[in-house]
Amino acid sequence: MTLNRDLADRSGAQEIIAAGGADGPFGPPPNPPFREPVKTSYAWGFPVVTRSGLGVDESQMTWGAPEFSPAQLITVHHTFIPNGTEYPDYRDAVREIYRYHTLPAPVGQGWGDIGYHLVIDPNGVIYAGRSTGTADKPVDDSPIFEPGSTLKPGARIVTAGHVYRANTGNIGICVIGDFTNHLPSKAALHSLDIVLARLCSGLKLDPSSQVNYVNPDNGVTATMPAISGHRDWSAIAGPTECPGNRLHEALPLLRKLSDLG
Protein backbone atom coordinates (compact mmCIF):
# COMPACT_ATOMS: atom_id res chain seq x y z
CA MET A 1 0.00 0.00 0.00
CA THR A 2 1.41 3.38 -0.98
CA LEU A 3 0.57 6.60 0.83
CA ASN A 4 0.40 10.08 -0.67
CA ARG A 5 -0.20 12.88 1.82
CA ASP A 6 -1.78 16.19 0.91
CA LEU A 7 -0.86 19.52 2.44
CA ALA A 8 -2.43 20.19 5.82
CA ASP A 9 -3.14 23.37 7.78
CA ARG A 10 -3.31 23.92 11.51
CA SER A 11 -6.90 22.63 11.52
CA GLY A 12 -5.88 19.19 10.32
CA ALA A 13 -6.76 19.14 6.62
CA GLN A 14 -5.23 16.01 5.14
CA GLU A 15 -6.15 13.04 3.02
CA ILE A 16 -4.12 9.85 2.82
CA ILE A 17 -4.78 8.08 -0.44
CA ALA A 18 -3.95 4.38 -0.70
CA ALA A 19 -3.45 2.28 -3.79
CA GLY A 20 -6.22 -0.25 -4.32
CA GLY A 21 -9.30 -0.99 -6.34
CA ALA A 22 -12.33 -3.20 -6.75
CA ASP A 23 -14.10 -5.11 -9.46
CA GLY A 24 -17.09 -3.38 -11.02
CA PRO A 25 -18.23 0.24 -10.72
CA PHE A 26 -18.95 0.21 -6.99
CA GLY A 27 -16.86 -0.47 -3.90
CA PRO A 28 -16.58 -3.93 -2.39
CA PRO A 29 -19.46 -5.42 -0.39
CA PRO A 30 -19.54 -3.86 3.09
CA ASN A 31 -18.76 -5.72 6.28
CA PRO A 32 -21.68 -6.74 8.51
CA PRO A 33 -23.01 -3.74 10.46
CA PHE A 34 -22.59 -3.57 14.21
CA ARG A 35 -25.45 -5.21 16.09
CA GLU A 36 -25.79 -3.56 19.49
CA PRO A 37 -27.68 -0.26 19.90
CA VAL A 38 -25.53 2.80 19.21
CA LYS A 39 -26.28 6.32 20.41
CA THR A 40 -27.52 8.29 17.41
CA SER A 41 -28.51 11.90 16.76
CA TYR A 42 -31.42 12.78 14.46
CA ALA A 43 -31.02 16.53 14.88
CA TRP A 44 -30.77 17.34 11.16
CA GLY A 45 -33.16 14.82 9.65
CA PHE A 46 -30.72 11.95 9.11
CA PRO A 47 -29.15 9.53 11.61
CA VAL A 48 -25.65 10.33 12.84
CA VAL A 49 -23.77 8.05 15.23
CA THR A 50 -22.64 10.44 17.95
CA ARG A 51 -19.10 10.72 19.26
CA SER A 52 -20.08 8.77 22.38
CA GLY A 53 -21.80 6.18 20.21
CA LEU A 54 -18.63 6.01 18.15
CA GLY A 55 -16.59 5.64 21.31
CA VAL A 56 -13.91 8.27 20.70
CA ASP A 57 -11.66 9.04 23.65
CA GLU A 58 -12.51 12.69 24.30
CA SER A 59 -9.51 13.02 26.63
CA GLN A 60 -7.27 12.79 23.53
CA MET A 61 -8.92 15.86 21.98
CA THR A 62 -6.81 19.01 22.44
CA TRP A 63 -8.38 21.35 19.88
CA GLY A 64 -9.80 23.64 22.56
CA ALA A 65 -12.95 25.74 22.44
CA PRO A 66 -14.83 25.35 19.15
CA GLU A 67 -15.26 28.25 16.76
CA PHE A 68 -18.48 28.68 14.76
CA SER A 69 -19.38 30.55 11.57
CA PRO A 70 -22.29 30.53 9.08
CA ALA A 71 -22.29 27.57 6.69
CA GLN A 72 -21.45 28.59 3.11
CA LEU A 73 -20.90 25.35 1.17
CA ILE A 74 -20.02 21.64 1.36
CA THR A 75 -16.87 19.73 0.37
CA VAL A 76 -16.71 15.96 -0.24
CA HIS A 77 -13.62 13.87 0.61
CA HIS A 78 -12.43 10.28 0.72
CA THR A 79 -10.12 8.58 3.24
CA PHE A 80 -6.94 6.52 2.95
CA ILE A 81 -8.77 3.23 3.57
CA PRO A 82 -9.18 1.27 0.29
CA ASN A 83 -12.11 -0.96 1.26
CA GLY A 84 -12.60 -0.73 4.99
CA THR A 85 -12.49 -4.53 5.16
CA GLU A 86 -9.57 -4.31 7.58
CA TYR A 87 -12.14 -3.55 10.28
CA PRO A 88 -14.92 -5.91 11.41
CA ASP A 89 -16.61 -2.83 12.91
CA TYR A 90 -16.33 0.40 10.92
CA ARG A 91 -16.31 2.38 14.14
CA ASP A 92 -12.75 1.10 14.49
CA ALA A 93 -11.90 2.78 11.17
CA VAL A 94 -13.42 6.11 12.23
CA ARG A 95 -11.71 5.97 15.63
CA GLU A 96 -8.41 5.31 13.85
CA ILE A 97 -8.91 8.41 11.67
CA TYR A 98 -9.74 10.37 14.84
CA ARG A 99 -6.58 9.15 16.59
CA TYR A 100 -4.41 9.81 13.54
CA HIS A 101 -5.66 13.37 13.21
CA THR A 102 -5.68 14.03 16.96
CA LEU A 103 -2.67 12.47 18.65
CA PRO A 104 0.84 13.97 18.50
CA ALA A 105 3.70 12.45 16.52
CA PRO A 106 4.88 9.76 16.14
CA VAL A 107 1.42 8.23 16.67
CA GLY A 108 -0.53 10.88 14.79
CA GLN A 109 -0.47 14.36 13.31
CA GLY A 110 -1.21 16.37 16.45
CA TRP A 111 -4.09 18.40 15.04
CA GLY A 112 -6.20 18.04 18.18
CA ASP A 113 -9.38 16.55 16.64
CA ILE A 114 -10.71 14.85 13.53
CA GLY A 115 -10.77 17.12 10.50
CA TYR A 116 -14.17 16.22 9.00
CA HIS A 117 -17.68 17.11 10.12
CA LEU A 118 -19.13 13.74 9.07
CA VAL A 119 -17.74 10.36 8.01
CA ILE A 120 -19.75 7.80 6.00
CA ASP A 121 -18.83 4.10 6.03
CA PRO A 122 -19.47 1.46 3.30
CA ASN A 123 -22.66 0.36 5.08
CA GLY A 124 -23.97 3.92 4.72
CA VAL A 125 -23.69 4.61 8.44
CA ILE A 126 -22.97 8.29 9.16
CA TYR A 127 -20.68 9.29 12.03
CA ALA A 128 -20.12 12.60 13.81
CA GLY A 129 -16.71 14.11 13.21
CA ARG A 130 -15.33 17.39 14.59
CA SER A 131 -16.57 18.09 18.12
CA THR A 132 -18.97 20.96 18.73
CA GLY A 133 -17.99 20.91 22.41
CA THR A 134 -14.77 20.59 24.38
CA ALA A 135 -12.84 17.67 25.83
CA ASP A 136 -14.23 18.25 29.31
CA LYS A 137 -17.69 19.31 28.09
CA PRO A 138 -18.45 17.17 25.02
CA VAL A 139 -21.64 17.75 23.03
CA ASP A 140 -23.36 14.68 21.62
CA ASP A 141 -26.67 15.89 20.19
CA SER A 142 -25.48 18.59 17.76
CA PRO A 143 -23.02 17.31 15.15
CA ILE A 144 -21.78 19.89 12.62
CA PHE A 145 -23.76 22.85 13.97
CA GLU A 146 -23.50 25.06 17.03
CA PRO A 147 -25.48 23.56 19.93
CA GLY A 148 -28.96 25.06 20.09
CA SER A 149 -29.06 25.71 16.34
CA THR A 150 -31.84 25.00 13.90
CA LEU A 151 -31.10 23.94 10.34
CA LYS A 152 -31.77 27.14 8.41
CA PRO A 153 -29.88 29.65 6.26
CA GLY A 154 -27.01 31.14 8.20
CA ALA A 155 -26.83 28.27 10.70
CA ARG A 156 -23.36 28.26 12.24
CA ILE A 157 -21.06 25.27 11.85
CA VAL A 158 -18.01 24.37 13.88
CA THR A 159 -14.79 25.19 12.05
CA ALA A 160 -13.14 21.89 11.16
CA GLY A 161 -9.93 21.08 9.26
CA HIS A 162 -10.43 19.50 5.85
CA VAL A 163 -9.52 22.15 3.22
CA TYR A 164 -6.31 24.11 3.76
CA ARG A 165 -7.02 27.86 4.07
CA ALA A 166 -10.76 27.35 3.45
CA ASN A 167 -12.21 25.63 6.52
CA THR A 168 -14.36 28.40 7.96
CA GLY A 169 -17.98 27.97 6.84
CA ASN A 170 -17.08 24.84 4.86
CA ILE A 171 -18.82 21.54 5.77
CA GLY A 172 -16.53 18.54 5.23
CA ILE A 173 -18.07 15.12 4.50
CA CYS A 174 -15.68 12.18 4.15
CA VAL A 175 -16.54 8.77 2.67
CA ILE A 176 -14.44 5.79 3.78
CA GLY A 177 -12.54 4.32 0.84
CA ASP A 178 -10.25 5.08 -2.11
CA PHE A 179 -12.41 6.06 -5.08
CA THR A 180 -9.72 6.48 -7.70
CA ASN A 181 -10.92 3.46 -9.69
CA HIS A 182 -14.41 2.72 -8.38
CA LEU A 183 -17.40 4.40 -6.78
CA PRO A 184 -18.31 4.08 -3.12
CA SER A 185 -20.71 1.31 -2.20
CA LYS A 186 -24.36 1.88 -3.11
CA ALA A 187 -25.21 2.25 0.58
CA ALA A 188 -22.54 4.92 1.07
CA LEU A 189 -23.68 6.85 -2.01
CA HIS A 190 -27.29 6.69 -0.80
CA SER A 191 -26.33 8.15 2.58
CA LEU A 192 -24.17 10.82 0.95
CA ASP A 193 -27.15 11.78 -1.21
CA ILE A 194 -29.42 12.01 1.85
CA VAL A 195 -26.93 14.14 3.77
CA LEU A 196 -26.30 16.52 0.86
CA ALA A 197 -30.01 16.89 0.08
CA ARG A 198 -30.99 17.54 3.70
CA LEU A 199 -28.20 20.04 4.36
CA CYS A 200 -28.83 21.91 1.12
CA SER A 201 -32.57 22.00 1.75
CA GLY A 202 -32.23 23.25 5.32
CA LEU A 203 -29.55 25.81 4.51
CA LYS A 204 -31.42 26.91 1.33
CA LEU A 205 -28.26 26.16 -0.60
CA ASP A 206 -28.77 25.53 -4.32
CA PRO A 207 -26.70 22.37 -4.88
CA SER A 208 -26.07 23.22 -8.54
CA SER A 209 -25.02 26.80 -7.87
CA GLN A 210 -21.67 28.51 -7.59
CA VAL A 211 -20.95 30.13 -4.23
CA ASN A 212 -18.82 33.20 -3.64
CA TYR A 213 -16.93 31.76 -0.70
CA VAL A 214 -15.28 34.16 1.75
CA ASN A 215 -13.10 33.05 4.63
CA PRO A 216 -13.45 35.84 7.22
CA ASP A 217 -10.46 34.53 9.18
CA ASN A 218 -7.80 34.93 6.48
CA GLY A 219 -9.45 36.83 3.62
CA VAL A 220 -9.36 33.92 1.14
CA THR A 221 -12.10 34.18 -1.49
CA ALA A 222 -13.16 31.80 -4.24
CA THR A 223 -16.09 31.00 -6.49
CA MET A 224 -16.78 27.33 -5.89
CA PRO A 225 -19.54 24.75 -6.48
CA ALA A 226 -21.97 24.63 -3.58
CA ILE A 227 -21.13 20.91 -3.41
CA SER A 228 -17.46 20.62 -4.27
CA GLY A 229 -14.81 17.94 -4.20
CA HIS A 230 -11.60 18.54 -2.31
CA ARG A 231 -9.65 18.73 -5.58
CA ASP A 232 -11.80 21.69 -6.68
CA TRP A 233 -9.94 23.71 -4.04
CA SER A 234 -6.48 22.91 -5.43
CA ALA A 235 -5.69 26.50 -6.41
CA ILE A 236 -6.14 27.52 -2.77
CA ALA A 237 -5.37 24.39 -0.78
CA GLY A 238 -2.72 22.73 -2.95
CA PRO A 239 -2.90 19.73 -5.29
CA THR A 240 -4.88 16.63 -4.30
CA GLU A 241 -6.63 13.71 -6.02
CA CYS A 242 -9.35 13.68 -3.33
CA PRO A 243 -12.16 12.54 -3.42
CA GLY A 244 -10.91 10.17 -6.15
CA ASN A 245 -11.72 10.24 -9.85
CA ARG A 246 -14.88 8.16 -9.68
CA LEU A 247 -16.50 9.97 -6.74
CA HIS A 248 -15.58 13.36 -8.20
CA GLU A 249 -17.21 12.35 -11.49
CA ALA A 250 -20.37 11.42 -9.55
CA LEU A 251 -20.72 14.88 -7.97
CA PRO A 252 -22.79 16.39 -10.83
CA LEU A 253 -25.37 13.62 -10.44
CA LEU A 254 -25.35 14.01 -6.66
CA ARG A 255 -25.97 17.75 -7.10
CA LYS A 256 -28.98 17.02 -9.31
CA LEU A 257 -30.33 14.47 -6.84
CA SER A 258 -29.86 16.94 -3.98
CA ASP A 259 -31.77 19.54 -5.96
CA LEU A 260 -34.70 17.11 -6.21
CA GLY A 261 -34.59 16.60 -2.45
- The pLDDT tens digits for 203-216 are 999 999 999 999 99
For the cut 60, the answer to whether the pLDDT of residue 191 exceeds it is: yes
* pLDDT number for residue 29: 63
d(CA 68, CA 169): 8
For the cut 90, the answer to whether the pLDDT of residue 1 exceeds it is: no
User: Residue 5 forms beta bridges with which residues?
Assistant: 16
CA angle 88, 94, 96 (to 5 degrees): 90
List pLDDT tens digits, range 112-168. Answer: 999 999 999 999 999 999 999 999 999 999 999 999 999 999 999 999 999 999 999
For the cut 60, the answer to whether the pLDDT of residue 6 exceeds it is: no
CA–CA distance from 87 to each of 67, 81, 91 (Å)? 33, 10, 8
Please give the mean pLDDT across all residues of the chain: 88
Exposed / middle / buried, residue 77 (Cβ in 10 Å: 0-12, 13-18, 19+): buried
* pLDDT number for residue 81: 61
List pLDDT tens digits, range 12-68. Answer: 333 333 333 444 677 766 677 766 779 999 999 999 999 999 999 999 999 989 999
What pLDDT band is residue 9 in, cutting at 50, 70 and 90? very low
Q: Residue 82: which of 136, 128, 149, 16 has the closest Cα?
A: 16
d(CA 159, CA 169): 7
Neighbours of 126 (CB within 10 A): 23
pTM as predicted? 0.89
CA angle 102, 227, 83 (to 5 degrees): 55
**80 within 8 A of 93, measured Cβ to Cβ:** no
At residue 101, the 3 state secondary structure works out as helix
* pLDDT number for residue 24: 62
Percent of the chain, pLDDT > 70? 86
Determine the average pLDDT of the residues in 222-247: 97
